[in-house]
Amino acid sequence: MKKLVTDMTFIPVVEGWLVLSTVIDLFNHKIVAWETAPSATLQLALNTLKKLVSDSGKLPENSVIHSDRGETYTSETYIKALKNIGTRPSYSRSGRCLDNASMESFYGHMKSENESKRQNSFNARNGSGNNR
């Protein structure tokens, strides 16, 4: 049995926004699948599941993919896709983002590092920062 978590997040890019859809294995906290798209859609979530199966192979029996209660993850199409790959859904309680803490933590760290790099790049271009 595998326990996986999934979600989507918006990332600012020069052209506007990019949506990152990620699946993390809770056993080792590795990213086991990810996809990007210009918008958060059911198709993006389905493409991420396809990537999961193509990269990881068949999931062990009784595997679970945990997500929030967004319309993408609770849609009939998504639930059917989960069943087709041999897994079942699990959902956060309504209004409880910490139920998906592993995913929220990953996105928080990723965005924090991205902002730090962006600030360092800005400082380097403008001659500010530590000049040792």
Whether 45 and 22 have beta carbons less than 8 Å apart is answered as no
Name the residue among 72, 67, 84, 79 with its Cα closest to residue 26. Answer: 67
Q: What is the pLDDT of residues 42-96, one digit of tens each?
A: 999 999 999 999 988 778 888 999 999 999 999 999 999 999 999 999 988 777 6
For strands 63-67 and 87-91, give the pairing. Answer: parallel
Please give the Cα distance from 49 to 45 (Å, whole number): 6
Q: How confident is the model at residue 126 (pLDDT cuts 50, 70, 90)?
A: very low
Tell me the two tokens of residue 73: 């993850």
- The domain 3-101 is classified under which CATH number: 3.30.365.10, 3.40.605.10, 3.30.420.10, 3.40.190.10? 3.30.420.10
pTM score of the predicted model: 0.77
Q: Domain locations in the chain?
A: 3-101
| Mean of all residue pLDDT scores within the chain | 83
